Structure 1
Amino acid sequence: MIEISGILVLGFFAQWLAWRVKVPAILPLIIIGLMIGPLSSIILGEGNKFIDGDMIFQGDMLFDVVGLSVGLILFEGGLTLKIKEIKTLAHTVRNLIIVGTVVTLIGGGIALHYIMGYSWHISFLFGALIVVSGPTVIGPILRNVRANNNIATILKWEGILIDPVGALAAILIYEFIISGQADQYFTLFALQGFMITVLVGLIVGSLSASLIYLLLRRQMIPHYLRNTIILGIVILTFGLSDMLHEESGLLAVTISGMIIGNTRLEELKHILSFKEDVTIILISFLFVMLSSRIDMADLYSLLNIKILMLFLIIVFILRPIVVFISTYNSTLTWRERLFIAYICPRGIVAAAVASLFSVKLSDGSFQGIISAEQAEEAKMLLPLTFMTIVGTVVQQGLTAKKVVELLGVGRVTPNGILFLGANETARYLAKFLHSKGIPVMLCDTSAYNIREARNLLLPVYEGSILNDKALEEIDFSQYGQMYATTSNSDINMMATRMIGREIGSHNTYRLITNAEQKKVGPAPANVLFGGQYDFIGITQFIRTRPTFVEKKVQNNQEFIELLQKKSVKVPLFLISSNQAVTPISQLEPMQQEIQEGDTVVYFAVE
């Protein structure tokens, strides 16, 4: 029990450390696993470790725990895949998966065979293992570098979809090795097993998604049991699929997650949040546990020039070949293609599947089918895969942000504004901003407010911005700020928290409440109009039809002097030359960097 507890606590610490130093969590997870595992034998003596994963789960139990954990991770990944994101880039993702699987499997196998002298069978198994990318690694890298939408969408879809494909490719090679046909051509037996795996995974995954959808749609599960029962269904999906045909569970849960993720269920966001928590726990445990299983002798064997050559071929030859073939005739720019070619870190699925097959092929179970030399080579699959994981994460995690800047493929901050409410105040402000070419959208449930906004030719979202449907249908790539202007202060506050998760809490603003106005001291942060007006006050002021005044400023001094003039009744916005809008009420004038040509917008005293 102390070993399991220790691994969990260390895993959570690694996650916190990764957040603190802003690196993908996989890196500190593996380092801590190596420290308590093989590296600890330097202190304790050869053969001894602080914690050894092999002492926690042995035999089939290790396979079951790792396989089920990976299945839950892939289900959560499938939930995040939205078909609408991929419509214009579907052919590129499809090519990356097909071409990437073939080129990486064959190229990686050939490289390992000729560089390290491994047998063809184990070499191609290694090639299949490094096919997979890793959603658990891609996600943190993309959040850190903020690449543009084309790059982020392609890498996210590739990272999730190629995981079960890579795992299936590894299963295909594994089936071929253990079929006893090692000296013959690719056997029908192995290919048949592969096709059955795909078929079973598709059928069971679709049925599982249908069951989950039916239960949620008809509200047949109480709120407090919703996440628990769905977790149970996912576990059952994995187990049933694997029972019908071995190794089909990964595909089944991925398909199930994809189908559910593209429905319009109100409960989807709550399910996804719960599954993210489960995924963090599983990843924290798995990486530390699997890293601890490696022996010190295996680490020593990786310290040679041949391993470096193998790594360089995988990263700087095979990956660019895959990307430039897959993106031929696509709409991507050469800069975007170059960055995608640079990014392909390996993750938990590669480590988990390598661990499973390494143990299965090296424990003597297939004596007589594979040679003793091949069994020793199979034992090295895990450290070789971890070498690839650590190398790609370090190289890409630490340099990706700089590469994005050099290539100029970062995400452009959207300048559009969402208004929560289409009342008089929102319509008055939105019409002015809209006339300046700034994207706006007003969200409301009131038929009258919606009709009045449409009469002004303003874009409107009819419905509540606080439900999951709105979060899916509103394109947040256009809107970088939200102004909550309804008469309900609770809804305004809730909206700033909820939408803040999508666009950043510092980009959400609301009206001050009457109670907040009466408090002594400065106004709270992120309130509109500098806290001078609550809903009733600003509505009455807007009904006087105040005039918008625009004044260009050249520097900070002019900006400060303008705000101090008595004629400036209500400072509204600072609009930069590239049409980026910032509410003046939220600025510290002395700290704000004013660029030549910036425009101050305010209501003047008549």
Structure 2
Amino acid sequence: MLPSLLFEVMLIGLLGVGSQWIAWRYRMPAIVVMSIVGLLAGPILGFMNPEKDFGELYNPIISVAVAIILFEGSLNLSFKEIRGLGRPVFRIATIGVFLGWVLGSLTAHYVIGLSWAAAFVIGALFIVTGPTVIMPLLRQSKLQPRPAKILKWEGIIVDPLGALLAVFAFEIIAFLTASNPDGSALLIFLAASVFAAVMGWACGLGIGWMFEVGYIPEFLKSPAVFIIVIACFTFADEIAHETGLLAVTAMGVTLANMNISSIDDMRHFKENISLLLISAIFIMVTASLQLDTLLEVFDPSILGYVLLMMFIVRPLSIFLSTIGTVLSLNEKLLLGWVAPRGIVALTVSSYFASILSQAGYADASLITTITFALVFSTVVANGFSIGWLAKKLNLSKEGRPGTLIVGSNSFTVNLAKSLQKAKSPVMVVDSSWKNLRKAREAGVPFYHGEMLSEQTEYNLDTIPYDYLIAASEYDAYNALLCTTFMPEYGRTNVFKVRPYRRNMNDTGDMVRKVGGRFLFKQELTLEDLNQRIRENYILRQTTLTSRYNYKQYLQDKAEETIRLYVIKRSGRVRYFSEETRITPEVGDVLVSLTPPVKEINKIKKRLENQRNNGNGKSQPNGERGGVDQSS
């Protein structure tokens, strides 16, 4: 046992964040790692049991955390994002949900032998995917935009619906099986659900209006949003259990579609909080499971039920609900497979297990076991297979890390051409059609638009790109780009180039300290790089070998040579910067901007060899080195 509750809180945070880091470091599904770590710390090794240790605080902590996660996810549900996808999303969230509920309930009754009450309750719970499991998978898999958006919308919309449907199913069963049927409880529940949705909408409008008119100062905006989310959830949930999730979802969707800049400014902060909460509650919930529950999972009927839910019920509900939509067969196959159940199903199942038990249903004790079996199976199966399946179905954007270059000019176009030659995805973005002329003539992929505009956010697919280079002719704009996209791309993957040389005492030089790393060398400007292109400098690829390593390359290169980037044997691109230590190895390809002198000398040598050969003489080739090619 742990020495104190404070130590346990620390350990939960450490295990959660540590699991996220391990998943990132070894390219594993984060939810799988967190689940395994939680099981090891809880029922298997017995280090902790958060449900027992936290006592009456356990359920409120989990509920509030789920509410915040669901609210944060719903803030991304802008209606502009699903242009052209409204029909499949609506079909899946309505017809698909109904089919999944009915088919899942029938399967639970006839395969496991659950009573109709328990079967329809558990069938409702299992339509839930939710942001706690979908978001980590989408972050990991690099799906194409259409299936990724559908999965995200389905997870966030269906998350509260599943819990509400489970309550509705229980109330219906209680009404039908009662000796003196009374429909008042059912009507109260329906009224409470409508009230929760209206309250969430009103809270969203209210907080949005207060932000816009300036009634809340900047330093209070994030705390105000979070406390109103908790209040909205609590009031709705106190009126009718499980309606709080509906309230916070309505609040988040309302704010997402009000186009409030303050919400966009806080988005990355909220994403960080959400990530921390997901890590913590996954550890808490899995560590609170009992060892007996884990052993019951291996019952043949439960295993059979899990397999039917994964391979029959889910695919069938997706295929039937999306008939006549724009979705392709491959997209339907992917959506039919990816449906990991998460925290909401686990936490709500214990609540329904208790109320069904109190109502006299003997099989209520199986609900927690069945829920864990399906949650763990889908998390592991989907977590390890989504990337592979997406590639097989040609729905993945994963490949060599790409580069997004903002600013079209002579140097950036030549840089993009060299990346194209290296088969690395690249895109040149500029708001000036005139500036993009060089990119068009060079056959380089380009996008005409303002990188910071909302329209670009929806129209430009940024999934294939892992690096951003800000190389426009405006210093402050480059710094702003790097600061804006640093949370999305990472501090080490965002670079900027100074446009022109300035006096160090110029106030404009202050932007050099804002966001992003300087590409190549800090004193090297875009003006310098473009001048070298005009002087016929060549972008050269040099493959390092055991006979010609990096040390020899440094000795041989001309003093004016600028090292640009290295293509590792894995295909990963690493850009040179004064803040980044790069040591190219054998097999790596080093790309540099090289003076034309070497090319001229090689031409002279070739001509000399031809003359000597014409005179009957042979000239040995004394050039050592790796494979040296010019772009």
Fold shared per TM-score above 0.5? yes
Following TM superposition, by how much is the alpha carbon of 1:428 offset from its aligned partner in structure 2, in angstroms? 7.4
- In structure 2, which of residues 404, 408, 429 is the aligned counterpart of residue 441 of structure 1? 429
- 1:442-470 residue CA offsets vs partner (Å, 9 max, x unmatched): 25xxxxxx5864898987877674x8887
Distance 2:451 2:147 in 1: 31
Residue of structure 2 equivalent to 1:101: 97
Question: Residue 78 of structure 1: CA displacement?
Answer: 0.4
One-letter amino acid of the counterpart of residue 482, structure 1: L
Q: Which deviates further from its counterpart, 262-271 or 208-217?
A: 262-271
Verify the 8 A CA contact 1:414 1:480 in the aligned structure 2: no
Residue 143 of structure 2 is aligned to residue 147 of structure 1: yes
Q: 2:160 matched to which residue of 1?
A: 164
CA deviations 1:416-460 (Å, max 9, x no partner) are: 8655457x66787699999999753225xxxxxx58648989878
Q: Which residue of 2 aligns with 1:311?
A: 306
Contact 2:80/2:458, CA 8 A, preserved across alignment: no
Aligned positions of 1:46-125 closer than 5 A = 50-51=48-49, 53-54=51-52, 56-58=54-56, 64-125=60-121
Work out the CA distance in 1 between the residues paired with 2:553 and 2:3.
66
2:191 is the counterpart of 1:196: yes
Q: Paired residue for 1:381?
A: 367
Structure 1 residue 534 and structure 2 residue 525: aligned?
yes
Question: CA–CA distance in 2 between the matches of 1:569 and 1:33?
Answer: 52
The more displaced of 65-74 and 104-113 is 65-74
CA 1:93–1:593 in 2, change beyond 3 Å: closer, same or farther? Answer: farther
Aligned residues: 564
Q: 1:222 deviation in Å? A: 1.9
Which of 170, 184, 208 aligns to 1:174? It is: 170
Q: Hey, what does 2:613 align to over in structure 1?
A: none
Is contact 2:561-2:592 (8 Å) kept?
no
Q: CA RMSD in A?
A: 4.7
- The counterpart of 2:317, out of the listed 314, 318, 322, is 322
Query: Match for residue 214 of structure 1?
Result: 209
CA 386–491 in structure 1, closer or farther in 2 if over 3 Å, else same? same
Task: Tell me the SS of whatever aligns to 1:440.
Answer: strand
Question: Shift of residue 252 of structure 1?
Answer: 1.2
CA distance in 1, matches of 2:347, 2:419: 52
Output aligned runs, 1:192-271, within 5 Å. Answer: 192-193=187-188, 195-271=190-266
Q: Percent identity?
A: 26
Distance 1:568 1:280, change over 3 A: closer
Say if 2:17 and 2:276, in contact at 8 Å, map to a contact too.
Answer: no
Q: Does 1:129 align with 2:125?
A: yes
Q: Is the deviation greater in 468-477 or in 195-204?
A: 468-477
The more displaced of 382-391 and 397-406 is 397-406
Contact kept, 8 Å, 1:128 with 1:166, in 2: the verdict is yes
Q: Distance in 1 between matches of 2:85 and 2:415?
A: 33
Shift of 1:208: 1.0
The aligned counterpart of 2:443 is none
Q: Residues 571, 325 of structure 1: CA spacing in aligned structure 2 closer, same or farther, 3 A cutoff? A: same
Corresponding residue number in structure 1 for 2:15: 14
- TM-score by length of structure 2 reads 0.74
1:410 aligns with 2:401: no
CA distance in 2, matches of 1:341, 1:413: 24
Write the distance in 2 (CA, Å) between the matches of 1:87 and 1:535.
Answer: 38
CA distance in 2, matches of 1:89, 1:391: 29
Hey, what does 1:446 align to over in structure 2?
Answer: none
Q: 1:331 & 1:535 partners in 2: Cα distance?
A: 45
Partner secondary structure for residue 345 of structure 1: coil
Give the letter aligned to residue 262 of structure 2.
E
SS in 2 for 1:98: helix
1:591/1:378 CA distance change after superposition, 3 Å: same
* Cα offset, 1:325, TM superposition: 1.6
Structure 2 counterpart of 1:332, one-letter code: L
Work out whether residues 410 and 530 of structure 2, in 8 Å CA contact, stay in contact via their aligned partners in 1.
yes
Which of 316, 334, 343 is the equivalent residue of 1:339?
Answer: 334
Contact 1:574 1:583 in 2 (8 A): yes
In 1, distance between residues paired with 2:413 and 2:83? Answer: 36
SS at match of 2:261: coil
Change (3 A) 1:19 1:39: closer
TM, length-normalised to structure 1: 0.76
Task: In structure 1, give the amino acid aligned to 2:525.
Answer: D
Q: Report if the CA contact (8 A) 1:572-1:603 is conserved.
A: no
The separation in 2 between residues aligned to 1:419 and 1:439, in whole angstroms, is: 6
Distance in 2 (CA, whole Å) between partners of 1:326 and 1:77 is: 24
Equivalents in 1 of 2:58, 2:205: separation in Å?
Answer: 30
Distance in 2 between the 1:395 and 1:302 partners? 16
Query: Which runs of no fewer than 5 residues in structure 2 stay unpaired?
Result: 441-445, 505-515, 601-631
The DSSP-based 3-state class of the residue aligned with 1:57 is helix
Distance in 1 between residues matched to 2:466 and 2:271, nearest whole Å:
25
From the superposition, tell whether residues 361 and 84 of structure 1 become closer, same or farther in structure 2 (CA, over 3 Å): same
Do the aligned residues in 1 keep the contact of 2:407 with 2:428 (CA within 8 Å)? no
- Amino acid of the structure 2 residue aligned with 1:441: V
Paired residues of 2:413 and 2:439 also in contact (CA < 8 A): no
Q: 1:390 corresponds to which residue?
A: 376
Q: Distance in 1 between matches of 2:294 and 2:449?
A: 60
